[in-house]
């Protein structure tokens, strides 16, 4: 939630029994803030890359590697990239020849998060709701397919990129990798990434990452349980392959059944959590501070927050 002045309707329980204070929701807060006029909202340039080119697929002995391929955009999750990744994961789920899925990134990043320029160009909250909902569906699908999914992280994984790492069943990182839920720096609290993050690290560690937006290195991510293994960059691919091979050696029936049982018992409220977090992100994205934060990020200047 954005920072704001105390709600004039703030009340404590009359019986002083510790009843929760009533704070405005992000959507309620947004209604008090006038958005800039349409002419002040810059439009994102149309992407020239086809959807297919945004994701590369390779296969080797039952291991399918899906590589996010928007290197100039630091592999940001555009609406079309979310769609093509969802299609590939859905296809893999029904393919018994695929035993393990590896998700990697091309270029200088694993994934920078959502495509903020695309999100900023659309004023309609229904667009934002659709993108966040489809991203949440993708994250849920990663836990529901029978094949284990490994994130192979060579560089930074920020915001929804950190969410993607956290939502994969396993993660192998290079010493050069960094992880952050950095949206708060741009006025957009990482509510949906927080769903996956809080299911990997302790609450205090998750809240520190969410509230500060500051990155942690691979060694810290390993210590906190966000990743399974950390290796030198030149050993990343081989180490990920070793981990995948150790899974392939086991029966796929046990692996699939065990994965399903694990998430049924440990993440029972996951879908509900993503639903509410999606709504929180939609409302947050429509706020003036999110607009200012994204514009300041694009202009390489310090943001001037309004919601204080």
Helix (H, G, I), strand (E, B) or coil at 17: coil
Q: Please give the average per-residue pLDDT across 41-61, as a whole number.
A: 65
Alpha-carbon span 126 to 129, nearest angstrom: 5
Query: What local confidence, expressed as pLDDT, does residue 284 receive?
Result: 83
What strands lie across the sheet with 178-180, from one edge to the other? 109-111, 156-158, 178-180, 216-217
Question: 195-247: per-residue pLDDT in tens?
Answer: 999 999 999 999 999 999 999 999 999 999 999 999 999 999 999 999 999 99
Extract the runs of DSSP E, i.e. beta strands, from the chain: 55-60, 63-68, 100-105, 109-111, 149-153, 156-158, 170-174, 178-180, 216-217, 229-231
Alpha-carbon span 106 to 303, nearest angstrom: 30
Question: 14-38: per-residue pLDDT in tens?
Answer: 333 333 333 344 455 444 433 333 3
Query: What local confidence, expressed as pLDDT, does residue 43 receive?
Result: 30
Domain range summary for the chain, segments of one domain joined by +: 48-234+252-299
Q: 194, 12, 166, 190: which is closest to 116 by C-alpha?
A: 190
The percentage of residues in the chain with a pLDDT greater than 70, rounded to a whole number, is 82
Query: What local confidence, expressed as pLDDT, does residue 274 receive?
Result: 86
* Top-tier CATH class for 48-234+252-299: alpha beta
Q: 34-38, 184-188, 245-249, 291-295: lowest mean pLDDT where?
A: 34-38
Query: What local confidence, expressed as pLDDT, does residue 15 receive?
Result: 38
Extract the runs of DSSP E, i.e. beta strands, from 170-254: 170-174, 178-180, 216-217, 229-231
Question: 78-123: per-residue pLDDT in tens?
Answer: 999 999 999 999 999 999 999 999 999 999 999 999 998 998 888 7
């Amino acid at each position: 939630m954005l920072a704001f002045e105390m709600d004039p309707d703030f009340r404590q329980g009359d019986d002083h029994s510790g009843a929760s204070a009533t704070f405005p929701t992000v959507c309620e807060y947004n209604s008090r803030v006038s958005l800039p006029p349409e002419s002040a909202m810059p439009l994102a340039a149309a992407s020239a890359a086809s959807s297919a080119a945004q994701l590369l697929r390779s296969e080797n002995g039952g291991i399918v590697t899906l590589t996010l391929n928007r290197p100039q955009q630091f592999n940001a999750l555009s609406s079309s990239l979310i769609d093509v990744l969802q299609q590939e994961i859905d296809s893999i789920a029904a393919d018994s020849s695929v035993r393990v899925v590896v998700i990697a990134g091309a270029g200088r990043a694993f994934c920078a998060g959502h495509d903020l320029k695309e999100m900023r160009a659309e004023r309609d909250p229904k667009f934002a709701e659709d993108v966040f909902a489809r991203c949440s569906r993708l994250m849920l699908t990663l836990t529901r397919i029978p094949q284990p999914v490994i994130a192979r992280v060579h560089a930074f994984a920020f915001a929804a990129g950190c969410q993607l790492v956290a939502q994969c069943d396993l993660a192998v990182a290079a010493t050069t990798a960094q992880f952050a839920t950095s949206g708060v720096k741009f006025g957009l609290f990482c509510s949906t990434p927080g769903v996956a993050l809080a299911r990997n690290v302790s609450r205090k560690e998750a809240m520190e990452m969410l509230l500060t937006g500051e990155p942690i290195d691979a060694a810290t991510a390993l210590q906190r349980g966000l990743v399974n293994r950390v290796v030198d960059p030149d050993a990343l691919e081989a180490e990920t392959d070793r981990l995948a091979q150790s899974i392939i050696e086991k029966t796929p029936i046990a692996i699939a059944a065990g994965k399903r049982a694990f998430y049924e018992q440990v993440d029972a409220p996951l879908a509900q959590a993503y639903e509410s977090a999606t709504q929180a992100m939609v409302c947050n994205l429509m706020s003036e501070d999110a607009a200012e934060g994204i514009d300041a990020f694009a202009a390489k200047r310090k943001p001037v927050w309004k919601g204080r």
